[in-house]
Amino acid sequence: MPPRSTAQRRLLKEYQQLSRDPPEGIIAGPANEDNLFLWDCLLEGPPDTPYQDGVFSATLLFPKDYPLAPPTLKFFPPILHPNIYKDGTVCISILHPPGDDPHQYERAEERWSPVQSVEKILLSVISMLAEPNPESGANIDACKLWRDNRVEFERIVKEDVKKSLSL
């Protein structure tokens, strides 16, 4: 067995920690034991939101230089949310590369840093589902719908919830 890279050792450690003490509403781990860089995740929709009762499938793809660079989180199938691109890719500060934001929307301390963890990422995504940031939207149509027609936005999200449960 070849020696593990720093990234592989870190991912294995994080997986062990998540397995021992998983946060409520989150299941995550490597898609298979031969590749620690691709994880499958199941995230419960947060209570008292349109996403409540949903169980959403996502993947985390880690770069080879993790934890120096952030992973990418993508919902499959995509769900409607102002901070999720139409292809399902999540856009939140914690997943943006470290350092200063070239657009000056985020402070450096809000962006990725090697002290972050898979658990913190997934908890941040659950929080994002509960509290969208339409000022920094990834899906402009979802931002407009959330802002201008909340009833229709919530109706569509509830359809996503039903799909997530195969109903």
Q: What is the 3-state secondary structure (H, E, C) of the chain?
A: CCCCCHHHHHHHHHHHHHHHCCCCCEEEEEEECCEEEEEEEEEECCCCCCCCCCEEEEEEECCCCCCCCCCEEEECCCCCCCCECCCCEECCHHHCCCCCCCCCCCCHHHCCCCCCCHHHHHHHHHHHHHCCCHHHCCCHHHHHHHHHCHHHHHHHHHHHHHHHCCC
In tens, the pLDDT along 118-159 reads: 999 999 999 999 999 888 789 999 999 999 999 999 999 999
Taking only the tens place, the pLDDT of each residue in 12-29 is 999 999 999 999 999 999
Tell me what pLDDT residue 106 has. 59
Q: Is the pLDDT of residue 104 over 70?
A: no
Q: Judge contact between 25 and 42, C-beta under 8 A.
A: no
pLDDT for the residue 1: 46
- Please give the CATH architecture assigned to the domain spanning 6-165: Roll (3.10)
Q: Model's pTM, two decimal places?
A: 0.88
Active site residues: 91
Identify the pLDDT of residue 40: 97
Q: What is the pLDDT of residues 55-102, one digit of tens each?
A: 999 999 999 999 988 999 999 999 999 999 999 999 988 887 766 655
Residue 9's alpha-carbon distances to 15, 22, 37, 135, in angstroms, are 10, 19, 11, 37
What residue segments make up the domains of the chain, in order of their start? 6-165
Residues 10 and 66: beta-carbon distance below 8 Å: yes
